Amino acid sequence: MGIKGLNALISEHSPKAIKSAEMKSHFGRKVAIDASMCLYQFLIAVRQQDGSQLTNEDGETTSHLMGFFYRTIRMVSLGIKPCYVFDGKPPVLKGGELEKRLKRREEAEAKAVLLKETGTVEEIQKFERRTVKNHNVLN
């Protein structure tokens, strides 16, 4: 899902359509959440102190699971009923965009490898965040 620039377009042409509120203001409501976007957010954001992703004893990434778990607990404790929505396979029209993302990810992986020898921790983490593969999480 996602439409590039949609938020900016709505902000410009219909600013009253966008509202910000604290999570607790949704008490008693059912809230639909884009599961793929949520997974991606946590794969990018949830890291160990050394910058690597959280993993289980088999080396499988668990950052997204921890994020889902704690966000869900927070929503339920605030009286919100979360409903995670998985939107299925991407449409055929998105094929070109997916290819571009793959190329950018491969370039970022190569850059991260080079930076591991000469770069700073911040530079390495910047490129490692670009290598996250969201679709593998669901398989």
- pLDDT of 64-74, one tens digit each? 788 888 899 99
Tell me, what DSSP letter sits at residue 94? G
- pLDDT of 3-21, one tens digit each? 778 888 999 999 999 888 8
Q: State the Cα–Cα distance between residues 41 and 63, nearest whole angstrom.
A: 10
Closest of 121, 113, 119, 115 to residue 50, by C-alpha: 121
Tell me, what DSSP letter sits at residue 135? G
Q: What is the mean pLDDT of the chain?
A: 77
Question: Is 100 buried (19+), middle (13-18) or exposed (0-12) by CB count in 10 A?
Answer: exposed
Q: What is the pTM of this model?
A: 0.55
What's the confidence (pLDDT) of residue 19? 86
**Position with higher pLDDT, 23 vs 63:** 23
Q: Under a CB-based contact definition with an 8 Å cutoff, are residues 43 and 64 in contact?
A: yes
Looking at the predicted structure, is the pLDDT value of residue 31 above 80? yes
Q: How confident is the model at residue 137 (pLDDT cuts 50, 70, 90)?
A: very low
- pLDDT of 51-89, one tens digit each? 566 777 787 777 778 888 889 999 999 999 999 998 777
What's the confidence (pLDDT) of residue 134? 46
